[in-house]
A and B are shown apart, each in its own frame.
Chain A
């Protein structure tokens, strides 16, 4: 039976654990930060001096921590793009705009252990010579914002934020900034525009890579809440020790959110790659409702490509000195960054959505398409027009107005959105679930279209040749 490995959530659900600073300090809070601040400059063999912040960056590199927000990009490499000699201030933003459907891990941290997130953020700021940082929290987290504001106040009172932190000479201001209901603000450049008070239109890259031209056109780091929490543990354990958690290149722990048609939906912190999708569904989430069988798994938030139950994948594995390819069943896939990508999808934000055979896949994908149509910012053509077109087409099919050719029709719309055609990855997020669902469940789409056509033909005959108007205004109702 697979087990959780609680590192970040070590205390969060303990009885009596509260989200105030006193409780956090009683549980060893801010020790990671103190350790970071206490690092003395180190003279290397070649005579050069490595500052404390540089040593922290090295530890993070050693730890192998990868971004927990969606892209899985190594945190140290992201930091490595920052030019520390540009003469401009460097900003850091904690991305607490958690909104990828299926994801609810940051919420646990923010609500239950906010100081851990602050500690990670302050360590990251210190490591990157940041003196002004923001937490961008989604607008709907009203209470989360209150909790964080209180936590910031407490941390200021204890001099973990502010001037000359813990006597180290390091200054940092940290403020909370609230969004107002827009998924696109989770995209880092959309977030920056939003934080600048503009419409959150993602920026074109090139030239506006945040590390070079971020907030106010200054070098900027945007890290996810969970990623920043990892840093506290990297600091306390040391990078090498941290890297022993998880699997090679997929180090540490991850909070995996399991939802959908499972008996015990919830969040489970596990070592990355040490549990399989089957274990996530069955051991942690209690399996499917009685009498139900698995139909599909969305492995990394709604943006990820859908897996169909029974799918087999060719996965490369280390074998002795070389590599071998093994065939793996969907449920046997280890839940990590690399294997899920190799299987053609992604672990994204760590959200596993499970759909049993009671779910109509057409309605399910119409539901996801509605989300993207609603959240598309509208800046660039393929996403703006394509996301709504997909929603309309899928809802038409979901509401009995399908056509035989709709599978191809929908695929051709979806195929014209991703792969660099849009300004940001929202294009991919819109297209991938649709492309994968239609391709993998093609017979379902074709049968539905044919059924609808046949029924309409009968109705038309009965009604003396008058067909019903297409109704595309209604929404999907799974």
Chain B
């Protein structure tokens, strides 16, 4: 969907027309892609204004949804070029075209522009219309901002400050509607806060393909609802909380957890599947409170699935691996990074060719997989990743649940089909050929290398984030970091290389894998290469053909295509 949109936008060099906005001339494309069908349709006034940074406030409009036109907040005045009796444009003395102002306002979200059109967003009439729409929206709206989760990112609050009046003239009784409505397993609804903009209805019907929400009753008593007894439960429901312009729809996971203005927002990427939806991590004091989707038209538009969104709790888990450990007399004992890395480097270096096996998760970053490859490249090691295939859906969810399978391919960790060599590694351990196994981020006992087989090894080096049957058997245990705790890049299922930034610190001694991998490579080869992440990425881009031509800086916030 979104890829098509973006491509079409790039490809077709659309004709531009000139319009006047608040007395100034601007060029705008005559058509733009429709948010759902991707078809080129007439550019609207609101698009023209927004692309030139001119503010037109709105509630029901959403750039990624079909237009509804119901809130009336974007009402503007407009005019068209005045024509003389000869049907030719008339000009003022200063040479500017004469405009015939329309006696009626229009909604900027639904009205297409035409050549020479004049749009007035700042006239007293335009301001008065906004003010009155806001007043109407507020008369029946509860004044519960102090306990409302939306406070701080509420458009009603925001616009009331920007465009409204402080006092309400309303002296009648408010309409009362259902509160704390359990709309579905992840969404709560407060009908009194709802301004009936229908964004959620349009999203779930037109984007998620689940026609599950609607309005019941009518007039001022209208309420948003699901069908009674049929919970709103698709894998995209939480997007409705994002696009709800007020506090009517809230995430059960996030509500009452944290005031949004305390949250630090960090650009990142979701790791739950190969799509790599762009996200914002909301954190405070090294704790993650929420993921929200971040717009990237080449990947996820501005949506993400509920599964991915809620798949962050493991990062905050109490049993995270925090200590560097070394097995002494059959029992794990605490050690430190310098001892452990020195010994691991020596063991690898002293291993005969063909005696090392590596299982490196396709959840590691491109840079980390690149460093793993470098670490063992002169040892004729067998390397692989663990496949994680599941179900895909029609929208964002990819069948591959690894976020970086293409990175594993590109760096040569998984040369063939992911997981194809795990059986070979197991066989060679059994045969006594592989004596050293390096495992990064996988519980291999669940993926073809049974726990008993691990006993055959001389050395088992394991890096992971959470304890499991493999970490329990490690000779060296190196605590790693979740993506939220480091910087790096993934290559998504469509070959897009996307970077993510560090939101929080890892627990205890945990270090980003790329950091200690860099140190291992340095110790082993005395040529560790780049010691900071951007330089490491650039180095990798030179060394790995798939990444040729890319640079950390040019990935920007939305990534770039690898040549796979």
Among B147-155, B215-223, B239-247, B411-419, the stretch that binds chain A is B215-223
Among B65-73, B182-190, B344-352, the stretch that binds chain A is B65-73
A373 is an interface residue with CB less than 8 A from chain B: yes
Bound CA span A378–B71, Å: 11
B215 touches A386 (CB 8 A): no
Binary flags per residue of A372-384, CB closer than 8 Å to B gives 1, else 0: 0111111111101
Among A147-155, A171-179, A413-421, the stretch that binds chain B is A413-421
B169 touches A420 (CB 8 A): no
Among B12-20, B132-140, B531-539, B541-549, the stretch that binds chain A is B132-140
**Closest chain A CB from B45 CB (angstroms):** 11
A379 touches B70 (CB 8 A): yes
For B, the interface residue count at a CB cutoff of 8 angstroms equals 40
Contacting residues, chain B, for A416 (C-beta < 8 A): 129, 132, 135-136
What is the interface of chain B mostly: helix, strand, loop, or mixed? Answer: loop
B175 is an interface residue with CB less than 8 A from chain A: yes
B437 is an interface residue with CB less than 8 A from chain A: no
Among A76-84, A275-283, A389-397, the stretch that binds chain B is A389-397
Contact with B195, one of A381, A403, A412, A419 (Cβ below 8 angstroms): A381
**Closest chain A CB from B54 CB (angstroms):** 21
B105 is an interface residue with CB less than 8 A from chain A: yes
Among B2-10, B107-115, B277-285, the stretch that binds chain A is B107-115
Most A Cβ at <10 Å: residue of B135, B136, B175, B195: B136
Bound CA span A421–B218, Å: 19
B110 touches A384 (CB 8 A): no
A377 touches B218 (CB 8 A): yes
Contacting residues, chain B, for A419 (C-beta < 8 A): 103-105
Contacting residues, chain A, for B105 (C-beta < 8 A): 419-421
**Closest chain A CB from B46 CB (angstroms):** 13
Contacting residues, chain B, for A377 (C-beta < 8 A): 218-219
Bound CA span A387–B136, Å: 10
**Closest chain B CB from A148 CB (angstroms):** 27
Per the 8 Å Cβ criterion, residues 406-433 of A in contact with B are 409, 412, 416, 419-423
B219 touches A388 (CB 8 A): yes
B173 is an interface residue with CB less than 8 A from chain A: yes
Binary flags per residue of B157-185, CB closer than 8 Å to A gives 1, else 0: 00000000000011111010000000000
B219 touches A472 (CB 8 A): no
**Closest chain B CB from A374 CB (angstroms):** 7
**Closest chain B CB from A456 CB (angstroms):** 13
Bound CA span A419–B105, Å: 8
A199 is an interface residue with CB less than 8 A from chain B: yes
A71 is an interface residue with CB less than 8 A from chain B: no
Most A Cβ at <10 Å: residue of B75, B105, B171, B222: B171
B110 touches A380 (CB 8 A): no
B1 is an interface residue with CB less than 8 A from chain A: no
Bound CA span A382–B137, Å: 8
Bound CA span A416–B169, Å: 13
CB nearest to B137 among chain A residues: A381
**Closest chain B CB from A187 CB (angstroms):** 14
What is the interface of chain A mostly: helix, strand, loop, or mixed? Answer: loop
Bound CA span A403–B171, Å: 11
Bound CA span A409–B139, Å: 14
Bound CA span A379–B72, Å: 10
A376 touches B71 (CB 8 A): no
B169 touches A409 (CB 8 A): yes
CB nearest to B104 among chain A residues: A420
B32 is an interface residue with CB less than 8 A from chain A: no
Contacting residues, chain B, for A206 (C-beta < 8 A): 110-112
A385 touches B140 (CB 8 A): yes
Binary flags per residue of B375-395, CB closer than 8 Å to A gives 1, else 0: 000000000000000000000
B457 is an interface residue with CB less than 8 A from chain A: no
B324 is an interface residue with CB less than 8 A from chain A: no
A470 is an interface residue with CB less than 8 A from chain B: yes
- Classify chain A: how many residues form its interface, as a range: 35 or more
Most B Cβ at <10 Å: residue of A204, A381, A384, A419: A381
CB nearest to B172 among chain A residues: A392
Contacting residues, chain B, for A389 (C-beta < 8 A): 136, 139, 170, 172
Bound CA span A27–B50, Å: 64
B371 is an interface residue with CB less than 8 A from chain A: no
B106 is an interface residue with CB less than 8 A from chain A: yes
Bound CA span A376–B107, Å: 20
Contacting residues, chain B, for A380 (C-beta < 8 A): 69-72
Given contacts A392-B173, A419-B104, contact A385 B71 (CB under 8 A): no
A384 touches B169 (CB 8 A): no
Contacting residues, chain A, for B218 (C-beta < 8 A): 182, 376-378
CB nearest to A471 among chain B residues: B173
CB nearest to B169 among chain A residues: A409
Contact with B107, one of A204, A378, A385, A387 (Cβ below 8 angstroms): A204
CB nearest to A182 among chain B residues: B218
CB nearest to B109 among chain A residues: A204
B196 is an interface residue with CB less than 8 A from chain A: yes
Most A Cβ at <10 Å: residue of B69, B75, B220: B220
Can you list 10 A-B pairs with a CB-CB distance of less than 8 A? A376-B220, A380-B69, A380-B72, A381-B70, A384-B136, A389-B139, A403-B171, A409-B171, A470-B171, A470-B173
Residues of B that sit less than 8 Å from A by CB:
67-73, 75, 103-107, 110-112, 129, 132-133, 135-137, 139-140, 169-173, 175, 195-196, 214-215, 217-222
The 3 closest A-B pairs by CB, nearest first: A420-B104, A416-B132, A385-B136
**Apart from A379-B196, A385-B139, A412-B169, what are 11 other A-B pairs with CB-CB below 8 Å?**
A204-B67, A204-B110, A206-B111, A376-B220, A382-B136, A416-B129, A416-B135, A416-B136, A421-B132, A423-B70, A470-B172
